């Protein structure tokens, strides 16, 4: 182990220990030892078992469901690290909850994404490492450096290994066109866009498809699958318009509310997601066509570059 790695510590909250294990395997280090528990009254307690004084520390904790519990655990963990004299603390957020509350689109509502970014900074974070934010401009909500990774290399590798022909990447809404175009250009494929109108926070209506899907193997790409209403309706319309097959792909498998029921009855040949949010065995059993792709190497390489003061932007340019 090099002297540089001797100064590096990667801890895991309870949000996604499997991903942290994969990251540490990539870095060829063991995860930092810590203990977190919830008292009977609901209060959280965190204790470190490794010395972090003067160390470069990364704490991996997605703020997925249970969102508020995972968020508070991240804040308490970073406060613990700061009080234990860590030299630098990087909050590794594979999934950033509250990202969709990023603006005031009506009166008397909060901008919770900004509030959460302030809390993370005040708790002790010197830097943030995250992946596929719902809106890239959320990086500007933080008053500390943010490294915004993409899961694209993991998905691109997977799609290329499938060796299917005549592929069209489909954006499930106009706001996601940039992401879908990036994949289409990477794979040398066509692009189509779903014309969607959202009627509420959980309901959207698909009106039309801009582009050609007839006879195509469709890959519908998005940053997350939440209630799955949009992607499932879009998949059915693609099949009705003559698509040969439809695959759903999203970085973050939020799978809220009726998502599992909708996905299990939708005409997906495959649903590919990243491991930014842990999934239970029950979810995997419910969705036999689910494929989970590892992002451990992407996070691991970014952590190594940050720790060794090497360029992370060159990693972004590779992703882009």
Provide the annotated active-site residues. 196
Q: Cβ contacts of residue 104 below 8 Å, gap of 6+?
A: 111
The residues facing 47 across adjacent strands are 35
Contact 246, 235 (CB under 8 A): yes
Order of strands, edge to edge, in the sheet holding 8-12? 8-12, 56-60, 88-93, 127-131, 146-149
């Amino acid at each position: 182990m090099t002297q540089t790695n001797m100064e590096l510590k990667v801890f895991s909250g309870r949000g996604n220990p499997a991903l942290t294990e994969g990251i540490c395997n990539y870095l060829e280090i063991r995860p930092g030892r810590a203990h977190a528990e919830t008292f009977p009254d609901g209060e959280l307690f965190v204790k470190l078992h490794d010395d972090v004084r003067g160390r470069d520390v990364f704490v991996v904790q997605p703020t997925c469901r249970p969102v508020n519990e995972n968020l508070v655990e991240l804040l308490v963990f970073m406060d613990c690290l700061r009080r234990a004299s860590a030299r630098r603390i990087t909050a590794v957020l594979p999934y950033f909850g509250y990202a969709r509350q990023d603006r005031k689109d009506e009166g008397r509502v909060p901008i919770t994404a900004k509030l959460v970014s302030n809390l993370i900074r005040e708790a002790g974070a010197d830097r943030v490492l995250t992946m596929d934010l719902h809106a890239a401009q959320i990086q500007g909500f933080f008053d500390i450096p943010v490294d915004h990774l993409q899961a694209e290399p993991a998905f691109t590798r997977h799609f290329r290994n499938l060796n299917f022909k005549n592929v069209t990447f489909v954006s499930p809404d106009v706001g996601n066109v940039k992401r879908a175009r990036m994949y289409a250009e990477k794979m040398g494929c066509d692009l189509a866009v779903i014309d969607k109108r959202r009627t509420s926070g959980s309901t959207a209506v698909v009106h039309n498809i801009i582009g050609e899907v007839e006879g195509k193997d469709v890959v519908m790409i998005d940053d997350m699958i939440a209630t799955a209403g949009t992607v499932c309706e879009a998949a059915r319309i693609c099949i009705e318009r003559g698509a040969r097959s439809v695959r759903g792909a999203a970085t973050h498998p939020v799978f809220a509310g009726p998502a599992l029921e909708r996905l299990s009855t939708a005409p997906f040949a495959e649903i590919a997601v990243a491991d930014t949010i842990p999934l239970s065995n029950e979810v995997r059993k419910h969705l036999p066509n689910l494929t989970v792709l590892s992002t451990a190497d992407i996070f691991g390489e970014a952590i190594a570059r940050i720790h060794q003061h090497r360029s992370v932007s060159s990693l972004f340019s590779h992703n882009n």
